[in-house]
Each structure stands twice: as C-alpha cells, then as structure tokens.
A and B are shown apart, each in its own frame.
Chain A
Amino acid sequence: MTRNVLIAGLLVLLGVAFWTLTMGYAPDAELNRTAAYYAQNVGREIGAPNVVTAIIITWRGLDTLGEVTVLFLTSSIVALVLAQSKAPKGASGSGFLPSGELLTTGTRMLIPLIALLGAYVLANGHLTPGGGFQGGAILASGVLLALLADPGRRFGHALIARIESVAGLAYVGLGLLGMLIAGGFLDNKVLPLGQFGAMLSAGIIPIISVLIGLKVGSEFASILSSLEETEDA
C-alpha cells in the first residue's frame, strides 16, 4: 500500500515537472551557435551533405570512437557473463523443432538482400540518412534472422572477433594518419574532399563509415550469438 502511494506520488511529481516543461517550451526560431557553425561550415570543412554524419564522424569523431569502445565492452561483458552457462557444442538449439522449408528458404533468399541494403546504407552514410551505426545494425539483423531460422547454428567467433579488431585498428590508424598529414586526430582531409555530394567525396568519411559499420555489426552479432548459445536456447 505504502509502496503504491510512493510510486503514484513520484510519478505525479515527475508528471507535473514534465507538464511544466512541455507548456513552457517554445521551439527556437534560429539555430544556436554550435548548430549554425556546423550548418555553415559543413561544405567547406567536411564536404558531406549529411550534417549529422559530419558531426558524428569528424567534428565529434573522438566521441564516436568512445561509443564504439563502449559497444565493444558491452559485447565482451555479455560474452563473459554468459560464458559460464554456455551450452556444449551441438546441444544448443537441439530442443527446437526444425524450422521448416518456408523459413529456411526465405532466410536464404533474404540474407543477401539484407547484406546488400546494409552495404548500401554504409557506403552512402555521408549522402543520405545512414552511416556506420545504422548499416551495422542492418547487417546484424541478417545474423539475427539466420540465428532465428536455425537455432542450432554456430557462428565462428574467431571470424567475428577478427573482423571487429581489424576494423577497430583501421579506424584508430586512420585517425592517427589524420594527425600526421591532416589537421588532427580523425580529421577527414586525409583524402581530398572531392565534389560536394558525389559518392566518393568528404575525405575519409565513407571509409570510416564502413569501418564503424563492420565493427558495430560484428559486435551486435557477437552479442546475439552469445545470447543464443546459452544452455536454455
């Protein structure tokens, strides 16, 4: 009883605070100084039509590197926590009925298409709403589909780990290259900016997008397969 009163009181208080915030909110008419700087200098400094990607990969590139590291830590901790209850080889997924002709054939047909969409989103991150994280999540959704269609399937952890570490090393290496021959760590002028809006433009943004996508995709795949390879799955 006291519990429910406390919960209700807390939610009402928060609701009142949120209500005040909503009522007092007026959308800005002008961009604030940071955003205005980003909008005005994106063509000259970055050369990427997608301002969000320009912020994520170049202006705040260090934060993105940190974020990818957080994801790496997450996938390592999930693997560590679940390592103790890992099913013996071949036992995982044995309790399920076979998934049937429709699902198996559909999976075989869909996975190449999912991989193609992922590659497209990755490579066009500087031109369209897309980029490393979105493309990596799409690639991992292909892995999820394969795991759901065949629960007994085992992905090569060595391969996933190798893709992940190569992509991560290349990402940091490109950043260091920026310190040597361009304006600083993760600066995108290592390659020429090219023509604004062209497929191969914006310096190293497309390359870093692909690297982030591979890294995020392999980290998600590692999380999914760790969760799948437990004794009860």
Chain B
Amino acid sequence: MAHLALALGFVLILMGLYGALTNRDILRMIVAFTIADTGVNVVLVAVGYMPGRTAPILDAAVPLAEAGARIIDPVPQALVLTAIVIGLGVTALMLAYAYRLFRARGSLDISDFTELKW
C-alpha cells in the first residue's frame, strides 16, 4: 500500500514537471506546477504511513498509554499541512505575476518573453 501511494506521488511529480517543461502557455505551466506540488505532498504523507497503525488522533479507540505503539508518524502530516498552505501562496503569486505579464504584453505565451533567454 505504502509503495502504491509513494509511486502515485512520484508519477504526479513527473507529470507536473513534464507539463511545466513542455507547455508554452503560462497558465498551463502554473497548473502543472500545482500538480507537481500535490505529488510532493502525497510522497511526504506516504512516507509517514506505517502498516497496521491508525491516524495520530487519540480517542477511545487509541488510549493515551498506547499512543506510541498505535499511531502513525504525525510529523510528516504537520509538514504537509504547512506545505499545502505555502503551495497555495505560491500559486496565488504565480497567478498575480501571470496577470501582470498579460497586461504588460497582451500575451501568456512564454515564447514572447525573451529577455532572460540565453
């Protein structure tokens, strides 16, 4: 199971990178980056998974005394919560810059922006 989730995350990262590298349209590149972002999050959560254990929330089913033996690793989940929020911030920034580029040049094709091309 853990391998399946891990492989899914890696495939999403590769799909996102492929999309970001091959598409010429800035909006499509932004979508591709968010897909890669999701892939990274899936990989992180999958690494924290441990077979036969349950979510890191203690209640009647997981008494406090047995917590160390019954819950999965909570640290990757806390990290991913942070990563999702920061990912949203990055996406919002990319969209705002894409909009300004469109207003400045009337185009969203990355081929029209050649100043930084070598």
- List the interface of chain A (C-beta within 8 A of B): 4, 7, 10-11, 14-15, 18-19, 21-23, 25, 27-29, 31-32, 34-36, 38-40, 42-43, 49-52, 55-56, 60, 63-64, 67, 70-71, 74-75, 77-78, 81-82, 84-85, 127-129, 131, 133, 196-197, 216, 220, 223, 226-227, 230-232
**A216 and chain B: residue at smallest CB distance:** B85
- What A residues does B85 contact at CB under 8 A? 67, 71, 133, 216
A39 in contact with B74 given A78-B96, A81-B96 (CB within 8 Å): yes
Q: Which 3 A-B pairs have the closest CB atoms?
A: A74-B89, A18-B10, A51-B56
Interface digits, B3-21 against A, CB 8 Å rule (1 contact, 0 not)? 1001100100110011001
What residues on A are CB-neighbors of B86 within 8 Å? 67, 70-71
Instruction: Give A77 to B89 CA distance when docked, in angstroms.
Output: 10
Q: Which residues of B contact A196 (CB under 8 A)?
A: 64
Q: Are A128 and B57 in contact (CB under 8 A)?
A: yes
A60–B14 CB distance below 8 A:
no
List, in ascending order, chain A residues with CB within 8 A of B33's CB.
none
Contact B13 A18, beta carbon cutoff 8 Å: yes
- In the complex, which of the residues B6, B51, B95 contacts A227, with contact meaning CB atoms closer than 8 Å? B95
At the interface, yes or no: B116 with Cβ under 8 Å from chain A? no
**A77-B93, A129-B55 given. 14 additional CB < 8 A pairs?**
A15-B14, A22-B6, A22-B7, A27-B2, A34-B75, A36-B68, A38-B74, A39-B56, A51-B74, A52-B81, A56-B78, A133-B84, A197-B59, A227-B96
Give me 29 A-to-B residue pairs in the complex whose CB atoms sit less than 8 angstroms apart, sorted by A's number.
A14-B14, A18-B13, A22-B3, A22-B6, A22-B7, A25-B2, A25-B6, A25-B47, A34-B75, A38-B74, A39-B56, A39-B67, A39-B74, A40-B67, A50-B58, A51-B56, A51-B57, A51-B74, A56-B78, A67-B82, A71-B86, A75-B92, A78-B92, A78-B96, A81-B96, A128-B57, A129-B57, A227-B95, A230-B99
